[in-house]
Amino acid sequence: MQQLAVSASGLVKRFGDRRAVDGVGIAVPKGLIYGVLGPNGAGKTTTLRMLLGIIEPDEGERTLLGSRFPRDRSDQVGYLPEERGLYPNMKCREAIAFMGALRGLPWATGRKRAGELLESAGLGHAADDKIRKLSKGMAQLVQLLGSVVHEPELLVLDEPFSGLDPVNQERLELLIRGQRDRGATILFSTHVMAHAERLCERISVIAGGKVRFEGTVDEARALLPLRARYTPHHDADAIGAMLPDDAVREGGSWRFTMPDGGIEALLVRLIDAGHGISGLSIERPGLHDAFVRIVGAEALADQPETIA
């Protein structure tokens, strides 16, 4: 059996009458980048907080780095909360060292590593600036560095990309890969599919407090059939009748779902009819579409209060 960094089953958390998390299970293999995807209010943050032992689940079991008491392993964990927070009057270097010290890293080591980390993140010039002087994105990077300064075995990031510009998002992706290469397991939540698609080796999709999908990104994309985009050489209305039922005309092109038997027979017919082929692409739907399909169809239907 593959070693798991984090596992949980049947996690339930009620806030008043609402079941924010309703029987979530998760299994994160060691050394992987694992994404928890879900729409806003799906229960991602609550799930992460339960996994980390910040809050206790009402029901269910969880194991974190081999311990059933997540707090016992907190020194091996790094965490970037969804709501970013740093002491505004602290200097960057100190703030990072402080976060390391909270996880048992000696202050002196923390300060030294903070300098190196800031340097490599392109923030070396700000090491002795106070947090309040930084832009929001920079402060967020500082906090992220603070969550890895003690070189944790497990790094949990809650919506790490939100609020970052594309350059900093790129830096963050590099940093996450760097941590994985160091041997850490990374568990992060997001509702931005592009990052998940690029980074994650496995994903869970949570919606309405329940797990809707678990697997690799490719498996998720495979939930939807391939899509074809065909541009005839000589366009004509008659083409519509030859294509599958869901064909849609977009400008001079047609978009339709790949037929079950493959596209070859269709192409032969189109060429025989004299329409010709001036363009053809067959593509896997993105994670975005898969996500909308997984979440949209099921969760939004039986979770009317999340829309309201």
Partner 1 sequence: MMPRFLRQALTIARRDLTATVMTPTFLLFLLSPLLMIGFGIIGGLSGQAAGAAGEARQVLVAIVPVDQHEDLRAADRELRSVFSRDSARPRLQLEAPQGDAARQARALFDSDAIEAAAVLYGPLDHPMVLRRAGAEAEGRYLAALATQTLRAAHAPDVRSTARFEIIAVQAPTVSGRGQAAYFSTFAIFLVTLMLSGQAVGAMAEERSNKVIEILAAAVPLESVFFGKLLGAFGSALLFVAFWGTLIANLPKLLPAGMGSGLSDLSVAVGPIFPLLLIGYFVMAYLLQSAVFLGIGALASTQREIQMLSLPITIFQFAMFGMASYAAGNPESWVAMAAEIMPFSSPMAMAARAANAPELWPHALAFAWQALWVAITLTIAARLFRRGVLKSGSPKRGKKAVA
Classify strands 202-207 and 279-283 as parallel, antiparallel or unpaired.
Answer: unpaired
Q: What is the CB neighbour count within 10 angstroms for residue 248?
A: 10
Task: Give me the helices (H) in the chain, please.
Answer: 44-52, 92-102, 107-120, 136-148, 166-182, 193-199, 217-221, 239-242, 264-272, 287-291, 300-302, 304-307
Shortest CB 107 distance to partner 1, Å? 14
Among 25, 29, 81, 244, which residue interacts with partner 1 (rule: CB under 8 A)?
Answer: 81
Q: Does 137 bind partner 1 (CB under 8 A)?
A: no
Among 86, 92, 207, 266, which residue interacts with partner 1 (rule: CB under 8 A)?
Answer: 86
Identify which of residues 146 and 208 has a Cβ nearer to partner 1 in the complex: 146
Q: Does 188 bind partner 1 (CB under 8 A)?
A: no
Cα 173 to Cα 166: distance, rounded to the nearest angstrom: 10
Residues 6+ apart with CB under 8 A from 51: 6, 8, 11, 26, 62, 64, 70, 156, 187
Identify which of residues 69 and 248 has a Cβ nearer to partner 1 in the complex: 69
Identify which of residues 86 and 176 has a Cβ nearer to partner 1 in the complex: 86
Q: Does 107 bind partner 1 (CB under 8 A)?
A: no
Cα 153 to Cα 187: distance, rounded to the nearest angstrom: 11
Q: Does 83 bind partner 1 (CB under 8 A)?
A: yes
Chain center to CA of 195? 6
Residue 224, token pair as written in the block = 């939807």
Q: Does 99 bind partner 1 (CB under 8 A)?
A: yes
Closest CA to 67 of 51, 79, 55, 54: 51
CA angle 129, 134, 135 (to 5 degrees): 170
Site for partner 1 in 40-59 (CB under 8 A): 49, 52-56, 58
Q: Does 85 bind partner 1 (CB under 8 A)?
A: yes
Q: Does 21 bind partner 1 (CB under 8 A)?
A: no
Q: Does 102 bind partner 1 (CB under 8 A)?
A: yes
Residues 141-166 as b/e (b if ≥16 CB within 10 A, e otherwise) read: bbbbbbbbbbbbbbbbbbbbbeebee
Q: Does 145 bind partner 1 (CB under 8 A)?
A: no
> 189: which strand partners?
36, 158
Identify which of residues 145 and 193 has a Cβ nearer to partner 1 in the complex: 145
CB 207 within 8 A of CB 295: yes
Shortest CB 49 distance to partner 1, Å? 8
Q: Does 69 bind partner 1 (CB under 8 A)?
A: yes
Tell me which stretch binds partner 1 (CB under 8 A): 64-72, 119-127, 227-235, 252-260: 64-72
Q: Does 87 bind partner 1 (CB under 8 A)?
A: yes
Shortest CB 134 distance to partner 1, Å? 14
Among 44, 91, 103, 195, which residue interacts with partner 1 (rule: CB under 8 A)?
Answer: 103
Identify which of residues 67 and 257 has a Cβ nearer to partner 1 in the complex: 67
SS3 242: helix
Binding site for partner 1 (CB under 8 A): 15, 49, 52-56, 58, 68-69, 71, 74, 77, 79, 81, 83-88, 99, 102-103, 143, 146
